[in-house]
Each structure stands twice: as C-alpha cells, then as structure tokens.
A = this chain, B = another copy of it.
C-alpha cells in the first residue's frame, strides 16, 4: 500500500462518509425550499432515482422523512406530491410563526456572541447583494439562512426543529410568490432585527422579527389568493 493510494482514500472519506440517504435528503430538501419543486407537483421515487443517480432505498427514506416533516404530502393512493397550501393552512403557519419566531429571537438576543452577530450581519449583506443581482434562488437561500441562524443561536433545539419544519411547509409557495412579484418588492425588517440584537434589546428584536414574519407571510397569503382565482 503506497502513500498516494492512502491520500486518495482519505480524500474520498470526506465524500463517502456521508450516507447516500443523507445526501438525497439534503438535496431533496433544498429542492423543496429553494424552488425546484412547485406546489402540487408529483414526486416519484423512480423519477428521483433517475435524476439523482441513486438507488431506491435511500430515495424512499428521504421521501418518508420529508413527508413526516410536512414538506411532502401523501395522496391516499400511494403517490406523494408537494403540498398546495390552502388559505387556512397559511393562517395556521402565520399563527405558529408569530409565536415561535419572536420567542426564538428573544432567546437569541440574550445568548448571541459578537461572532454570532457578525455572522448574521454577513448573511444579511449576502442577501442584499442577491436582491441587487435579482438572483431569486440565492435570495431565498440567504433569507432562510438568516432566520435559521437566529434559531441556532437561541439554543432551543426542539423549538428550532418546529420552526424549521414550518419553513419546509411554505417554502414552495414562497418561491411561487417571489417568482411572481420579484425580489425588489420584498422588503424585510432584518436591519431592525440586527440593531435590536446589537443593543441587547430582546423585546425589540422579538417585535422586529414578528413584523418581518407577518410582512412576509401576508405576502404569501395575498399572492396565493390571487393565484387561486
């Protein structure tokens, strides 16, 4: 056994150590969150095995996981599709986020280190640049990262799980909305949030997040109502 063979083996490990079902899960999750899958679109096992070049067992597991998280929907017959949100669904999501997100922001403000705040700031900058470029997918990605990062700082794994699960539910609809109205007309309260967190004003951070959530989710609601007419 020579050195170069060992190097290759080690280099491969970084890739191979992730099980296939994890990779498939992440890929499919990103496809749902950032718009490659539209609401109502069917998701087939065989389609994904061909598209991703994987076996069916890992694909099945990824689909089951995402179905359990509400990101995909079981259609009674054994098909699976991306859920189409009803007006009632949107109301529930707004209600849940209106409670969860401010609470997590409050905790995050109490716990954030300076490094955390710098990281949030850089995510928000990346978001602004994506808007300037009109890069929709990147905008969705950075916006998601910004909020997820706040959840992570809050250090409340169960509540963060719940909040992340909600993103999976409205992700496809959010993409439709943004695709329709463009990224320019989607203002956010991220600057207010960052200011409040820097000032260690947890209540203000919670209020700002609440406004950001309402603003974003109401846009989804309105756009969905128009779309269903």
Contacts and interface: CB of A to CB of B under 8 A. Distances in A.
Given A19-B78, A57-B57, A78-B19, A159 B95 contact: yes
Grouping DSSP codes into helix (H, G, I), strand (E, B) and loop, the A interface class, with mixed when no group exceeds half, is helix
Contacts of A156: 88, 92
A158 B165 CA distance: 10
Interface string A108-144: 0000000000000000000000000000000000000
A162 B64 contact: no
Contacts of A96: 158-159, 162
Number of copies: 2
Contacts of A57: 57, 60
B162 A93 contact: no
Nearest to A155: B88
A159 B61 contact: no
